[in-house]
A and B are shown apart, each in its own frame.
Chain A
Amino acid sequence: MNTHYTATAKLLHWLIALMIFGMLGFGFYMTGLDLSPTKLELYSWHKWAGVTVFALVLVRLAWRIGHKPPALPAHMPAIERLAAHAGHHLLYVLMLAIPLSGWLMSSAKGFQTVWFGVLPLPDLLAKDKALGNLLETVHVVLNYTLIAVLLGHVGAALKHHFIDRDDVLTRMLPRRKD
């Protein structure tokens, strides 16, 4: 029985985690700026990074399906197991839905997404201001939901490590060579 996540799963987890925290800060910062060439550049980079996160999450999901994660510790009561599974499912849903809502919002607002200025993503929605504003609200609400779920995720990991003193946090950390 594996007690650790695979190296690939760890790499994807931490890479995506880093990008999510970066993107959250990035998003809040750039939306507060006055319109300037810098703002337009930042928006483009935000969109490119968002598409990248979406692609990485797909890779991660594919990996997850092929590689069963280590089992939860035996001491966990049913309610905690349920919360853990629900939280992880919600995180995956949000990691896909947030970039998707951003892309659709851009599309409805008439700003096509061209990944790194090279690969044009199809504009699925016709230009529609009202729909664009609605999708903007969706994007924002999903992000606040993500922040709440992330707090739960990090809180739970810390509780496992410092209170339950089990291996739930450490098994996601790089393994020390012994």
Chain B
Amino acid sequence: MKRTALTLIASFAFAATAAHAVEYGQVQPDKSRIAFDYQQMGVAMQGTFGKFASELRFDPAAPQSASARIEVDLASVDTGSEEGDEEVARKTWFDTKGFPVARFESSVVKTLGGDKYEVAGKLTIKGTTKDVVVPATFTAQGDSGVFEGALTIRRGDFSIGEGAWKAFDVVANDVVIRFRITAAAR
């Protein structure tokens, strides 16, 4: 009897592993983070976005059918100073009133081997949409999965920083968007 139970449990466990039916989709905002790195007067600076909404579906057994949609609330920006936060909300930067949300929508997910993936998709900021390819890694941690990666964009491509800020000598063109998104298995 005892033996039968053990066999039963073992076969269930095997079935669960074999099916790989784990889909990560419950995003945990408190364990997720979107930050950005940039250079100002040649000095490395860092900022974050406090609020963003993400929908994602990812099954490690079927990465090609994965999808992600991330919407960042641009008003939640933290540049490190109040003056900076007020400045980037202006028309010359994000124009937060006109374009309150920056959006990434995935199209194709490619497996690069191991835990590495390439997520192609469209990035929309301030009314400009660009095709981007985001390198990301996925790590399962207990019941949840962690997606991490970094994407370098050029702020000039999205008209972020116009007028007096258009030159890249004080605030550099390259901005690295780094993300860490934790999602629980459904």
Contacts and interface: CB of A to CB of B under 8 A. Distances in A.
Q: Are A and B interaction partners?
A: yes
Interface of A: 35-38, 40-41, 44, 109-114, 117, 127
B45 interface: yes
Given A35-B87, A37-B171, A41-B170, A117 B80 contact: no
Nearest to A114: B43
Interface in B93-145: none
Given A41-B170, A109-B81, A36 B164 contact: yes
A173 to B, nearest CB: 38
Given A40-B170, A109-B81, A117 B87 contact: no
B165 A37 contact: yes
A36 B45 CA distance: 17
A112 B44 contact: yes
Q: Most chain-A Cβ atoms within 10 A of its Cβ — which of B42, B43, B44, B84?
A: B43
- Chain B contact-residue range equals 10 to 19
A32 to B, nearest CB: 12
B24 to A, nearest CB: 31
A41 B41 contact: yes
Given A36-B164, A37-B171, A109-B80, 14 more contacts: A35-B86, A37-B167, A37-B169, A37-B170, A40-B40, A40-B170, A109-B81, A110-B45, A111-B45, A112-B43, A112-B44, A113-B43, A117-B41, A117-B43
B46 interface: yes
B46 A44 contact: no
Contacts of A37: 164-165, 167, 169-171
A114 to B, nearest CB: 5
A117 B164 CA distance: 21
- Top 5 A-B pairs, shortest CB-CB distance: A37-B170, A110-B80, A117-B42, A44-B41, A35-B87
Nearest to A110: B80
Contact of B41 (A40, A109, A110): A40
B41 to A, nearest CB: 4
B41 A35 contact: no
A35 B84 contact: yes
A35 B83 contact: yes
